[in-house]
Structure formats: C-alpha cells, structure tokens
Amino acid sequence: MKAPNFKYARAANVDEACALLERHGDDARILAGGQSLMPTLNMRLSSPSLLIDINRIEAMRGIAVDGDMIRVGALVRHVELAESVIVRRHLPLLSDAITHVAHPAVRNRGTFGGSIALADPAAELPACAVALGASFVLASRRGPRVVAAEQFFRGLYETDRRPDEILTEARIPAQKSGTRYGFAELARRQGDFAIVGLACIEAEALRLVFFGCEDRPRLAREAARANGIPAIQAALAADLKPMSNLQGSAATKLHLARVLAGRVVGSLKVVGA
C-alpha cells in the first residue's frame, strides 16, 4: 500500500516546529526516525494532513553531562545511545536495554524521543525512563514544560504531550557509583517486542518497572517494598493487571513477570564495579 497524500514541512528550529504544531494540531505528525510513523502511513493507519520533519534541528541532538543529570536530545538515534561513552558510564541500564530494541537497521534510524513519544507499552526505553526517574522537556509557543516520566505515560500510545507540544529532550539522573541495576525481557525472537520486560534500579530504594504487561510501563510499588525474591514475586499480583493479547494471556504474563523478577533482582549489576 501507499501512504495517503500529505503536505511536508522541514522545521529549521524548535520554534518553527512549535508554530506548525500550533497551527495544525492533531492534523500534523512529527517525523524524526520514522520507524513507526512510516509503516502506519503506508498501511493507512494514520492520515495526517502535514508531516513536520524535525531532523535538522541541532538543538534536539546530543548526549551531555549537566551536573548530576544526563541530557539526551530527542533526536539521538538508538545507535548513538548504544555507542555513547557517557551512557555506558552514567546510564548503564540504558546501555543494557538498547541492545534489545528492534534490529540494527531500526536502531540506525529510530530516535530516543520517537520511542518515548510513541509510548508503545512493550517498548524498552519508556520503562527505563520511569525506572531512572527521568523527566521530559516539552516545548510549545507557551514555553517549556517539564513532566516526570512516571506521569508522562498515560495509556495505550497515550502520553501527557499536548497537540501543540514537541518533546525536545530528556533529563535523566546519572546512576551513582554503587547503584545496582538490571534489565531483562522475554520475547519470541531477538528484536521482537517484549512479551514481558523489566527495568530495575536499586539505590535508596528498589524500583521495578515492568513493560509489555499493561497499557504503559508499570512501577511495581508493593513488590518494591517486599523483603526477598519470593515475597517480591508474590506481591506482583497486587501491582500488575496484565492485558491478554496475542503475546499471551494475563495469567501467563503475570507468571513471566514473576520469573523475570527472580532473574533480575537475583543478579543485579553494580555501577562502577
């Protein structure tokens, strides 16, 4: 199939992109890596009147240390995350997770911001952002707005981003030396979306974020307060309400979440070790 007719605009900067979004609202789509957008266009699942190409906006690129925060531009490609010395040193959870994202061809084009903004419940990066306590910067003609990752994901492909806003960057606290972390997912094949996945951080407290289970990344609060792996696994029944789908039944996903909790919590790595 071929994509429907649409107009195309290349934004030179964030202000220009925001002006176009303000003018066109829900009738416009942002084009960055295009790894999710282009298939939906070609299958006629999306019919925007305008594509706004943001690939030339330099202010949305780059990975940098800013005090105890790591700034990740929305246009950073997955491959850049995988190859970044800053990410390996300060955000090793992301380094572990990024190898599970799709396949090399997708990672060469797909962007960090695109994955976050799409909010696929089986995607790795939204779960990692919640586990790491990230915040997202959203720009509009009204000015910037900062939203915590935990509040950003609101449902199935639904986020707190407003129609006239564009996600420009993430601000992620650097993982301190001695912090423990772990990541794992279960998928039918390498590169497939996860049936169930888990991103975990243990600093002052344990943060367990499951993905692929519900309509968004889910922070397992009761399990995080439990003492010992068997108690953590048992507490997941109170935290998770998995959705049955083609990947498995709700009961199967809860079982797999417990399996992953045992594997990940039982073999956490240490930052700086």
Percent of the chain with pLDDT over 70: 100
206-234 pLDDT, tens digit each: 999 999 999 999 999 999 999 999 999 99
Domain boundary pick from 152, 173, 194 = 173
**Taking a C-beta distance cutoff of 8 angstroms, is the pair 197, 122 a contact?**
yes
Higher pLDDT, 162 or 3: 162
- pLDDT at residue number 38: 85
- pLDDT at residue number 192: 87
On average, the pLDDT of the chain sits at 95
236-273 pLDDT, tens digit each: 999 999 999 988 999 999 999 999 999 999 999 999 87
Q: Are residues 218 and 202 in the same domain?
A: yes
| pLDDT surpassing 80 at residue 100 | yes
- pLDDT at residue number 53: 97
d(CA 127, CA 101): 12
CATH number of the domain encompassing residue 160 = 3.30.465.10
Average pLDDT on 23-27 reads 90
153-195 pLDDT, tens digit each: 999 999 999 999 999 999 999 999 999 999 999 999 888 889 9
Higher pLDDT, 7 or 41: 7
Q: Are residues 221 and 192 in the same domain?
A: yes
d(CA 137, CA 218): 21
Q: Are residues 40 and 63 in the same domain?
A: no
- For residue 83, what are the CA distances in angstroms to 86, 160, 180? 9, 30, 21
| pLDDT surpassing 70 at residue 107 | yes
| pLDDT surpassing 70 at residue 1 | no
| pLDDT surpassing 80 at residue 133 | yes
50-53/7-10 β-pairing = parallel
Q: Are residues 168 and 82 in the same domain?
A: yes
Q: Are residues 222 and 117 in the same domain?
A: no
Q: Are residues 130 and 220 in the same domain?
A: no
- pLDDT at residue number 209: 98
| pLDDT surpassing 90 at residue 122 | yes
- For residue 58, what are the CA distances in angstroms to 64, 75, 139? 14, 9, 15
Band of residue 4 on the pLDDT scale cut at 50, 70, 90: confident
Of 125, 260, 253, 155, the C-alpha closest to 195 is 253
Q: Is residue 145 part of a domain?
A: yes
